[in-house]
Amino acid sequence: MRLLARALCLAALLLTAGCALTVDTIDVRYEPPPQPAAAVPGAEAVMVAVTARDARTAYRDRVSSKKNGYGMEMAQIVARGDVIAEVQRAVLAEMAARGFRAGGAPDALIEVDVLRFYSDFKVGFWTATADAEVLLNVRVRGAEQPFSATYSGTNSVGGIVVFSGENAAPALNAALRDAVQKMVIDPLFIAAVMAARPTYGRRPGS
């Protein structure tokens, strides 16, 4: 009986170790809030373009890491797609939802630097928490006054017993939404876009 118990414990440890050493791939998707965004008065007269750049100084090759029971980082958790492109799509979608037009000759160019896009498992006594942060630095080119701001989106998911990609994804997706929403509801950001010079980047005769 003791031998069987020891064998089962050893098997469980090996299985856990094996999972911790296997790379997980997850889908990172922007999920807009359920309620529709309110249109910005006059937004239809402003054409915008959005660029996004990877400015992360750490964890550029992953969006999270598995951990063992001692809190040591193990295998990578990576995104299936390009998270920088997903940020760009998210911002452009939210601007369109507010009535702004997208085009190749913009009045306002919105530049987004992704400074952080990571979910960290914090090990507790019985369970763990996935703490995610998406940090964006945003600039608006074409505005009468230079605009720059940083927006931090965060989210925590608790009650986690397995440090897997499946448990990292919800916190990351929610943190992405939090960061983008903080940006697009910032009245100073919207004012900067609305104040973009009408002739910025316009084609002759347009």
Where along the chain do its domains lie?
A: 2-25+42-194
Q: Domain 2-25+42-194: which CATH class?
A: alpha beta
**Across the chain, how many H-helices and E-strands are there?**
4, 8
Half-sphere exposure at residue 112, Cβ-oriented, CA atoms within 13 angstroms? 27
Average pLDDT, the chain: 87
Is-above-0.75 flag for pTM?
yes
Q: What is the pLDDT of residue 1?
A: 52
pLDDT in tens, 41-72: 999 999 999 999 999 999 999 999 998 877 88
What single-letter amino acid sits at 185?
A: I
C-alpha closest to that of 28 among 129, 179, 140 = 179
User: pLDDT tier at 4 (50, 70, 90 boundaries)?
Assistant: very low
pLDDT in tens, 120-174: 999 888 888 999 999 999 999 987 788 999 999 999 999 988 889 999 999 999 9
Where are the strands (E) in 81-191, listed by range? 101-102, 108-123, 128-141, 147-160
